[in-house]
Amino acid sequence: MVQPLQGVKVVDLSRILAGPLATMTLADFGAEVIKVESPVGDETRTWLPPVTSDGVSTYYSAVNRNKRSIIVDFKSDSDLTRLVELIRDSDVVVENFRPGVLARFGLDYDRLKTVSPALVYCSISGFGDLQGAQLPGFDLLVQALGGLMSITGEPEGTPNKVGVALVDVLAAQNATSGILLALRERDQSGEGQHVKISLFTSLLAGLTNQASGTIATGKSPQRLGNAHPSIAPYETFNTADGVLAIGVGNDRQFASLLGQLGLDELKQDGRFTTNALRGAHRQDLKILIERALQDRRASEWQERLMASGVPAGKVNSVLEAIDLAEALGLDPIVSIYEKSNGRRSRQIASPIGLSRTPAQYTRVPPSLGEHQDIFFSPLPFSRSTFQTGATS
């Protein structure tokens, strides 16, 4: 089977999360991805615990399958020369160094496009390459400065970050899209281009309706906990044994909810007859709904409400979520086995489903410099550390 990106060669100069996740997506669909690491390796190799069964950092493992790894010492002129030759023979470069750093080594886009005019060069930064170039690109900082934390958390509590590095994931998806767009355009023009992705603008675009409402009104939204700014009831509620999410999107669903909760009298209550009124009296409504939910477990309410057409689900743990995906036939887990060395890895599958050319999983996340001999002849590398301030 010929994969969509078969024949595309990617030199991956990125590390930590956003860049490696983008390049792993390309690798899952056939691109040859060469992960270029310093002699000390990707920082996430040392982010322990947790670890896989063979002692590899699960953070590193999550975003580096299907790649090969080589070591390049940026303090070595011969290494840099060989790296440029590798890039000359490649289609894509992905990097997340602090803006300006790679220019010191002749690895910036302006220099490399003279070597390979068809090169697609993707830079991932925290806050762009202009006035924000020196700001550290950490997901937590972007969530704070980008407004996401201001709308996450309970109204009377402190702002919260999302429980995963969501901004990095958004940036990775944008980087993947940008690379594919540039490759498609190259098919027509024969020329490469510079793809620029920032964590900050990825977050602003990801705020969607919250950002749109802010632009339209000139007012920033406030924290609503798990409630929705425009729909009610659309939040979480306590039950007899756990937390239940209920998402009512229209009057019919609201009527069904009241019927299942034994609250039919509220159908005539002037506070709740329209969505706008329910939103204005959401706290009163929440108290009444939560009181009615106390006689059953969250899983029982989930089954009962879903059967009546009301979107509802208990708040699962991550393990429960994976089990649910398996029960739904979504095949969330993939097992990779490298016959040549006997290594195995179990990971979350790509979420991209293609009917004829699906993702393939052929290589476990590589050990540091594992494929050096394929691309570079062996050299005695020093253990010097190259500090650059990468974007996460």
Among 283, 314, 345, give the residue marking a domain's end: 314
What pLDDT is attached to residue 383? 36
C-alpha to C-alpha distance for 46 and 56, rounded to whole angstroms: 9
What pLDDT is attached to residue 342? 87
For residue 361, report the phi and psi dihedrals to the nearest 5 degrees: -125, 100
Catalytic residue among 28, 79, 108, 168: 168
Q: Which of 11, 3, 14, 12 is nearest to 392 (CA)?
A: 14
Structural domain includes residue 298: yes
The DSSP code for 282 is: H
| Cα 260 from chain centroid (whole Å) | 37
Pair 247, 356 in one domain:
no
Structural domain includes residue 223: no
C-alpha to C-alpha distance for 263 and 185, rounded to whole angstroms: 58
In this structure, how many other beta carbons lie within 10 angstroms of the beta carbon of residue 11? 30
Q: Say what the pTM is.
A: 0.92
Pair 89, 146 in one domain:
yes
What pLDDT is attached to residue 379? 45
Interval 64-123: pLDDT, tens = 999 999 999 999 999 999 999 999 999 999 999 999 999 999 999 999 999 999 999 999
Which domain, by its residues, includes 79? 9-206+332-375
Domain CATH code at residue 254: 3.30.1540.10
Structural domain includes residue 238: no
C-alpha to C-alpha distance for 173 and 193, rounded to whole angstroms: 18
Structural domain includes residue 227: no
Give the DSSP H/E element, type plus range, for residue 300: helix 298-307
Interval 218-241: pLDDT, tens = 999 999 899 998 999 999 999 999
Pair 153, 48 in one domain:
yes
Pair 361, 291 in one domain:
no
Interval 304-326: pLDDT, tens = 999 999 999 999 999 999 999 99
Catalytic (active site) residue 168: yes
Pair 56, 192 in one domain:
yes
**Positions in the chain whose pLDDT score sits under 70:** 377-392
Domain CATH code at residue 148: 3.40.50.10540
